[in-house]
Structure 1
Amino acid sequence: MALILNIETATRNCSVSLAKDGKTLLCKEIAEQNFSHAEKLHVFIEEICNETGVALKDLNAVAVSQGPGSYTGLRIGVSAAKGFCYALSIPLIAVDTLLLLANKIQINEGIVIPMIDARRMEAYTAIYDFNYVKIRETKAEVIDAHSYQDVAEQIHLVGDGAMKFQSLLTDSKFHFYPDIEFPSAHEMSAVSYENYVKGDVVDVAYFEPFYLKDFVLNR
């Protein structure tokens, strides 16, 4: 049996789940306009432990969304995950944020392009086939009306970045999902367990989030 605490803070959605053998026991999350991760994250963790009766000492691993995404959100999530792993002497699992977002839909054909808003005319994107295998690397991509013209397949776009560019991507091959804005710790449950079984963990001391872009201070 494996109990894994999953932490997803790469976007405005502050999300935490507790999973047993890849199945979510309980998930708590909130997406607010102003980031509330510093206030909500540890509250959610405490509530989940209390409501499930699982103590932190019972955990077998902690998983964290590695990015790309918000610099501040990623720092908060990774710092918390590292702290638990150090204190409990358990492994740290890093999960691709865009993969989590892609996992929020199920398709039988075509491709999935998860998009996280990277401000201005950019989005953090990757491309996955219908089995969630990454077929194009993650990058910060400028989106315009000519994007993905060379793709003949049906394209399923998810995330807050996708909705931002819906007015530009008007070809019938594009499919949008307005209800799917952010990645969630709920989808982390299965992915983190798979990594745990394979022994795919990261070095707690040296792991850093995948920022993709340099931090820019808003003025």
Structure 2
Amino acid sequence: MKILGKELEFPDPSTADSHGLLAIGGDLSTDRLLLAYRSGIFPWYSDGDPICWWSPDPRMVFDLKAQNPIKVSKSLKQSRRNRNYIIKQNTCFEEVMRSCMDVKRGLHDGTWINEDMIAAYTDLHRIGVAKSIEVFHENKLVGGLYGIDLKDKGIFCGESMFSHKTDASKIALWHLVEKLQHQGYRCIDAQLYNDHLSSLGAVEIDREVFLSYL
């Protein structure tokens, strides 16, 4: 495992350990984050610890070239039709991040978000790289997600999502899947396996296959 210094570099993802941990240290500068995502690497660490950089094998993705990249249940269709949710994009990026931060979960069940990450990803949002999907009900933000849009690669790197009302985060994801499919994207990177993502239709692929997309 490499300890990063000031140099803008990462080791080859194939050198990651069995859990996907590739390196520690470095910073959350815009240039380093862009290099990381374009190299199939992402930061993920507990508050107060050094920055940890990951490139897991296998990789969890929503395959947008598949016939049904997301599992849409009858109840989810009813929610989208009947709950009067309004879907918006990029209108309150930082609020989405902070709502995701408030979701309590362990390191390998979701992205840990702290103030440094909020500042770094908000900078990425300002230059049009980090984006959010937001779900509103009665003018109140009730769900959403955010991630890194590698538009030229046809990959959206999903970071985290939250829901304060029934199916709000799932509807945000469904909207994103439809939007990206229409634009010809290849996949949504969901990073690491968990049961919730699997239930929504995400699948595991070899790291080398994912890196070939980049």
Q: TM-score w.r.t. structure 1 length?
A: 0.24
Q: Which has the higher helix share?
A: 2
